[in-house]
Amino acid sequence: MRQHQIVAAVVRQGDAILLVRQQGADDPRPTWALPGGVVEDGELLHEALARELREETGLALRRVGALLYVAQTHVTHMTRGVLRGEAGARAEAYVATAFVFDVAGWIGEIASDDPDHVVSAARFFPRAEAIALLDQLGARVMREPIVAYLRGEAAPGAVWLYRRQDDGTDALISLS
């Protein structure tokens, strides 16, 4: 079974939170999400975080902050899409583990140059608006942990464990 590591960043400007507008090959519509992506072979988490932040937002990571939460999904079958949204890719079972970090320091101006052509825009949203946009994410594993964290309903360092169901939804198995 394949293992994938994913990183995502919570970047703040005052009370505002940076989100990226993304649409993968299999997504019916664009959504706003945290900047981040798949860790490449040979990369450490902080290196992947810096690369993804630069590619998707144009910002340079200066200092990684706290690990906010980990969300892991076990997918034994696919109902649509694949990790990374590669159209026509062979569906296979995998475990994806996402590490979401606070960004303690960054510099630069927003300018997306996403080589995967998934991200079309990046901008800061007031906290309440960012939460509302993130609450619209279709994938429970992407939506639930960040919304709970930003609302103060989940402590930093929480571990969220999900298993993909036959109907394509993610069932929460455990939260610690």
pLDDT higher than 90, residue 77: no
- The encoded tokens of residue 3 equal 């293992």
In one letter, which amino acid is 120?
S
Percent of the chain with pLDDT over 90: 74
User: Residue 176 — pLDDT band, cuts 50, 70, 90?
Assistant: confident
Sheet containing 60-75, strands listed edge to edge, beginning at the edge strand earlier in sequence = 36-38, 2-10, 94-107, 60-75, 158-164, 170-175
Contact between 31 and 120 under an 8 Å Cβ cutoff? The reply is no
Give the relative orientation of helices 140-150 and 127-134 as an angle to the nearest 10 degrees: 160
Mean of the per-residue pLDDT values of the chain: 90
- The mean per-residue pLDDT over the stretch 40-52 comes to 97
Q: pLDDT tens digits for 53-66?
A: 999 999 999 999 99
pLDDT of residue 79: 47
Q: Which of 26-35, 62-71, 134-143, 165-174 has the lowest mean pLDDT?
A: 165-174
Percent of the chain with pLDDT over 70: 91
pLDDT of residue 104: 96
Q: pLDDT tens digits for 97-156?
A: 999 999 999 999 998 778 888 999 999 999 999 999 999 998 899 999 999 999 999 999
Contact between 42 and 130 under an 8 Å Cβ cutoff? The reply is no
